[in-house]
Structure 1
């Protein structure tokens, strides 16, 4: 499955969340990651995020898609997908 994760976490947790997500997904821009994952990877990502964030203060939104979506960027691409291929 293809997922997109968007997060808004307290400044003291931002770097830990970003570092964790970079191990699993492609960084798109500030607080946005995306990529193809297996169901097991998806569950590991969710469990890891639950350990890193404070659910009373932070927010993580996960979009699950069946396949990689069509992407169109207007303006500067912060981290082109070709960089990881």
Structure 2
């Protein structure tokens, strides 16, 4: 399944800055950063449960915001890229 993870972490203190780094690192391990706090991810249902659980343990639910958008199986037609950055094919081959 294809999901979009977005977050907003309050970084007014060192604890918030640490949470921001931890959230970003967790998302980098599962998806591709497309904007500062936005990640595109292709995950299995088990991976979705795992990343949701991990992120909920990191954020402060009283001050931080986390959104997970379920794009569905026909996601190719739901994304329109405009401007500088060109989108990549998340399901295409990965060349390292």
TM range (shorter): 0.7 to 0.9
Q: Structure 2 unaligned segments of length 5 or more: list them.
A: 12-16
Task: Give the direction of change, closer, same or farther, for the CA distance of 1:82–1:66 in structure 2 (3 Å limit).
Answer: closer
Q: Normalising by structure 2, what TM-score?
A: 0.77
Larger-gyration structure (1/2):
2
Pick from 74, 80, 84 the counterpart of residue 72 of structure 1. 80
Q: How far apart are the structure 2 equivalents of 1:76 and 1:52?
A: 32
Counterpart in the other structure of 1:8? 8
Counterpart in the other structure of 2:26? 20
User: 1:65, CA displacement in angstroms?
Assistant: 2.1
Task: Give a deviation string over 1:14-44, Cα, whole Å, max 9, x none.
Answer: 1111111000011111100012100000000
Q: Normalising by structure 1, what TM-score?
A: 0.85
After superposition, the CA RMSD in angstroms is: 2.0
Count of residues in Structure 1 that have an aligned counterpart in Structure 2: 84
With CA pairs under 8 Å and 6+ residues apart, which has the higher RCO, 1 or 2? 1
Q: How far apart are the structure 1 equivalents of 2:58 and 2:10?
A: 11
Q: Structure 1 unaligned segments of length 5 or more: list them.
A: none
Question: Which structure shows the bigger proportion of residues in strand conformation?
Answer: 1
